[in-house]
Structure 1
Amino acid sequence: MSMDRTSAYTRLVSGLVFPLHERLKHHESVAVRRELERSQWMSAAELQALQLQRLRQLLTDVGQHVPFYRELFAREGISPSDFTELASLQRLPFLTKALIRAHTEALKHEQARDLARFNTGGSSGEPLIFFIGKQRVSHDVAAKWRATRWWGVDIGDPEMVVWGSPIELGKQDRVKAVRDKLLRTELLPAFEMSEAKLDGFIAAIRRKRPRMLFGYPSALSHIAKHAKSRGQRMDDLGIKVAFVTSERLYDEQRAVISEVFGCPVANGYGGRDAGFIAHECPAGGMHITAEDVIVELVDPQGRPVPVGEAGEIVVTHLATSDFPFIRYRTGDVAVMDDRTCACGRGLPMLKEIQGRTTDFVVAADGTVMHGLALIYILRDLPGVAAFKIVQHSRERCEVLIQAEADADRQTMVPSVIRGFRQRLGAQVEVDVSFVDGIPPERSGKFRYVISHAA
């Protein structure tokens, strides 16, 4: 990196401003990142030994201080000292969204402090409330930071974020505005993709001249296609990398983003619930954050699948003693990669991640919006266990809801109709029906938004 003012400012932010920000929040992200940058060069055997050591520490802690696991271990006669290899994990039951909903309080560590509450829809459309402690936040921030630095960029480099979560969009207070300005991060709300909005996004990116982009692959590819259709060049801005996450990245999306912005595309995989699971390096390897995360791939019966075969991703996050995610079923599907990456890192790799597909929807007036614009209406409604949205046309949308037993269905229906019409148009027909369960697609995967109008 050249010794210009830009890189000098970046070094100031990544070396002083951001570490101070993390220390004030009582996060250990700086120390964890330094350790991760050392451990990534370990051999596969050394990383597995580290995983086993941390797994035993986690199980010892939760077996003493987390009521759910204390009772489970006592009932099943399980002792952390019995875990002599990573395969011993298979002795433990899976943790599902249904179990978390049923035992939320019992999953909290008795000595946990300052737990942050999260509400996520997940890739199956099932709303889920869970909690995260400062240790877990520190480790996930550090893992993302490490992956960012793989690409020759760092915290403090100008960044344009195309995102749609109300958690991010709802915190535009003065403190966050100052922080974003210091870190040189600018947010573009990804919900609405009208022609005027897209023109504005392109103008904002040209003005910012970011060194990195971050966002949904669907949103970034949508902006790229629009710039192309306008004949607007975007490959002359000095963008070094486009980071994408939260959805499946399709080859055609990667191609158009890379072509239009003139930079490589780096795929990331994870979630608020399961953590920062894997990230792509410049050599093309989708590396698992193995120091913090143990990944198993299982078949529909819960049995391990051989390397090279697709299986559901099951995650054990080793920095979650405050609210454990142990053998957590993500609902996403992937194939394990047994190659050694050309980058030389010992971190294991995933390939063919098949989860997290989200469609766009189209309002009556032709405005294109991210499917999350509708998902959040349902996700935050009390009593919704699962859902599926099918947009048959610009004029008609069908909503299938699997409701909890005690849900107030009479108030739920008008809330859904009102919220959808605010997004799609006042005259749009919204058919809401209650079902006993949400069936998967023929492939076995779940899609929670399907639009035939896009």
Structure 2
Amino acid sequence: MSDLYGRFVSRVLFPLQERLKHHDTVRVKEGMEDSQWWPRERIEALQLKRLKAFLLDVQEHVPYYRALFAEHRFDPVGVASIADLQALPYLTKKLIRDNSDALRASNAVGLSRFNTGGSSGEPLIFFIGTERVTHDVAAKWRATRWWDVDIGDPEVVIWGSPIELGTQDRVRLIRDALMRTRLLPAFEMSDEKVQGFIDTIREMRPRMLFGYPSAISHIAGYAERKGIRLDDLGVKVVFVTSERLYDHQREAISRLFACPVANGYGGRDAGFIAHQCPSGSMHITAEDIVVEIIDGEGRVLPPGQSGEIVVTHLATRDYPFIRYRTGDVGVLGTQACACGRGLPVLSEIQGRSTDFVIAADGTVMHGLALIYVLRDIPGVASFKIVQESLGLTTVYVVPGPAFVPGDTGRIESGLKRRLGDSVVIDVKQVEVLPAEASGKFRYVVSRIATDLAARA
């Protein structure tokens, strides 16, 4: 339970800030906290009602969709089920780039320019309106409350996006201090920087850590090597997002901070799609988001089958995302969660399509097939694998104290067994691994898959 000041922030200060920003966040969050317990059928009925109103508004105010609906003879008035969305084509990053102005609603409110980091190809520039910001903040707020963490509880955010880091002016710093939030930049993770992060975390004693799993697990690993305790800080939960959460990262973070790790799935472009509850399920924010899973031919798959995640965000009428191809791979769940929430579940989030690699014979496999080769070699402290082409894969290795010359041969032979004997494996020993421009870290990057995603 929050302390007295935390309750003041969540009940008075933060609601006042949101009203001044013309955000209806408190009402939306309260509605979500009610609807999460509804039966699945009632949630689906709400979703359909919102979808129909959304499509009607988009048809009236957004030039791109007005023309698209006419071209496909699609009338939102006749929408009777979520499946009716399948009459519309997918929205891709290329289509957004080619139709940026036409996607803006004529009655848009509070549009701000955003972009993705470009980790899967060319950065995507798009716009977000006041309504979507409100709903995304409400969705995150609801999810953190599942873990007994509220607005106003001390929080440390470990992040790398220049959008947040670039807005740390005096007003923002004062606001963060009042809200008891501290933002730490994840771009540079040298020992000196990490020691400073740990000092800040120990000083703040946050109720929640929020950020990239790679960055937080790196901090945890450094603390373990240096014999620094993190389990005495009273952290209630570590909330991770924006990257794939690997099992070894979850184990290390949970063990060293002595708290659960909650996964969050979403993106700057697609919104906050799903959050993990204490029972372990990734619940979709179904009040705002319709999720479809499609195969390589664009056919919609039933729950239980793996495919690309496609999102329609119902709070994006200012700059609509309708049937947006995320480039991520996942599976819709078939079972209700033991927590009792009626929200649908993503049973698996397997990573980005560009986290998959392609062997010389054309076989597609998840990057984990290569990751396990490196993780089984004790002398490898950390690594990054870049599939440059079908014939060349570069492996960046930070050698640990146990690294021996023969480890290079083990890496080469292990990757050749998976990618093919004809593939050149170029092992480079480095002191620091190259990160993505966004500050995120990816163990595996396939340039082949990136090229395919960029053309989608």
Matching residue of 2:348: 352
**Counterpart for residue 305 of structure 1:** 301
Alignment match, 1:194: 190
In the other structure, the counterpart of 1:63 is: 59
The 3-state SS of whatever aligns with 1:355 is: strand
Map residues 265-280 of structure 1 onto 2, 5 A cutoff. 265-280=261-276
Deviations 1:265-287 (A, max 9, x none): 00000111101100000111100
Query: Which residue of 2 is the match for residue 242 of structure 1?
Result: 238
Q: Distance in 1 between matches of 2:134 and 2:97?
A: 25
The alpha-carbon distance between structure 1 residues 212 and 87, as it changes in their structure 2 partners (threshold 3 A), is same
Equivalence map 1:277-426=2 (5 Å): 277-356=273-352, 392=396
| Matched letter for residue 449 of structure 2 | P
1:133 matched residue in structure 2: 129
Q: Secondary structure at the match of 2:349?
A: coil
- Partner in structure 2 of residue 380 of structure 1: none
Q: State the Cα deviation string for residues 216-239 of structure 1 (Å, max 9, x = none).
A: 000000000111111111101100
Query: How many Å apart are 1:55 and its aligned residue?
Result: 0.7
Secondary structure at the counterpart of residue 327 of structure 1? strand
Q: Distance in 2 between matches of 1:163 and 1:97?
A: 24
2:157 to 156, 161, 186: 161
Aligned-partner Cα distance in 2 for 1:246–1:370 = 19
Contact 2:121 2:450 in 1 (8 A): no
Q: What TM-score results when the alignment is normalised by the length of structure 2?
A: 0.79
Q: Which amino acid aligns with 1:439?
A: I
Instruction: Check whether the contact 1:209–1:237 (CA below 8 A) recurs between aligned residues.
Output: yes
What does residue 448 of structure 2 align with?
439
* Distance of aligned partners of 1:24 and 1:441 in 2 relative to their CA distance in 1, 3 Å threshold: closer
Q: Distance in 2 between matches of 1:106 and 1:438?
A: 31
**Residue 171 (structure 1) aligned to one of 163, 167, 171:** 167
Matched, 1:260 2:228: no
Query: In 1, are the aligned partners of 2:383 and 2:395 still within 8 Å (CA)?
Result: no
CA distance in structure 2 between the aligned counterparts of 1:300 and 1:269, rounded to whole angstroms: 22
How many matched pairs? 378
Matching residue's letter, 1:288 = I
Structure 1 runs not aligned, ≥5 long:
360-367, 372-388, 395-422, 425-436, 447-454
The answer to whether the 8 Å contact 1:219/1:370 transfers is no
| Stretch moving more, 325-334 or 77-86 | 77-86
Does residue 44 of structure 2 align to residue 44 of structure 1? no
Determine the structure 2 residue equivalent to 1:8: 4
Where has structure 1 moved over 3 Å in runs of 4 or more? 356-359, 368-371, 389-394
Verify the 8 A CA contact 1:355 1:445 in the aligned structure 2.
no
Would you say the 8 A contact 1:193–1:370 is kept in 2? Answer: no
Q: What's the offset of the Cα at 1:197?
A: 1.3
**C-alpha distance in 2 between matches for 1:97 and 1:225:** 36
C-alpha distance in structure 2 between counterparts of 1:178 and 1:370, whole Å: 38
SS at match of 1:321: coil
Paired position in structure 2 for 1:451: none
Distance 1:252 1:392, change over 3 A: closer
Amino acid corresponding to residue 106 of structure 2 in structure 1: E
